Amino acid sequence: MIKESDFKMDTAISREVVDAGDYYFKVVKKGERVRITDLEGNQAADTLFYNANNPSERYSAMDTLREQGNAYLTAESVLMSNLSNPMLEIVADTCGRHDTLGGACSTESNTVRYALEKRCMHACRDSWLLAVAEHPEYDLTKRDISHNINFFMNVPVTAEGGLTFADGISAPGKYVELEAKMDVIVLVSNCPQLNNPCNAYNPTPVEISVWEAA
């Protein structure tokens, strides 16, 4: 569902451009809004959320999809935790559909899906591992890296129940905006993947902006 935001960029309290292959790791407080903008189009932002006050509580794809009865995320989707608490709500979305089934790229999946020599290519899982290693203050480890959301990524579910990585439906300037229902740690890997059309074989930057609670 396409729904635009009333929030203007010049009122954001923080704005950060995240290059492909880099990560974003910040706390967003309850009531604040966080927007991810696909600056050049056809990018994938692989995202994890944790309760900032108890990081063992985290985003759960299963609980979210079960509660909303829909395989895709868009405006009005409420992102649920593994303790069945609402963590964030998607309050605006100009792309229209986001994946939470396909998982993040890793050196292992690159090897299995593409070729043995892809093993050394940079992957989202590496960016997350680097993020948690460089920021011990969040008290997260490798064990906490779990299933995620792929904002802007187009992963259609087939009639047979399979997944396909398809050409993106996003475009330059499209965004998704979420309102935090609790204090959340936001961990985004801006995907460096070069082997599938999820980012048009050309990974590009995203911008992440935050607005104060109303």
In the complex, which residues of this chain contact Zn ion (CB under 5 A)? 105, 124, 191, 193
Whichever of 46 and 63 has its CB closer to Zn ion, that residue is: 46
Whichever of 42 and 51 has its CB closer to Zn ion, that residue is: 42
For the bound state, the minimum distance from the C-beta of residue 30 to Zn ion, rounded and expressed in Å, comes to: 29
Q: Which amino acid is at 73?
A: L
For the bound state, the minimum distance from the C-beta of residue 104 to Zn ion, rounded and expressed in Å, comes to: 5
For the bound state, the minimum distance from the C-beta of residue 18 to Zn ion, rounded and expressed in Å, comes to: 13
SS (H, E, C) 42-107: CCCEEEEEEECCEEEEEECHHHHHHHHCCCCECCCCEEEECCCCEEEEEEEECCCCEECCCCCCCH
Whichever of 23 and 211 has its CB closer to Zn ion, that residue is: 23
Whichever of 85 and 195 has its CB closer to Zn ion, that residue is: 195
d(CA 113, CA 210): 36
Return the residue matching tokens 């790229």.
105
For the bound state, the minimum distance from the C-beta of residue 94 to Zn ion, rounded and expressed in Å, comes to: 22
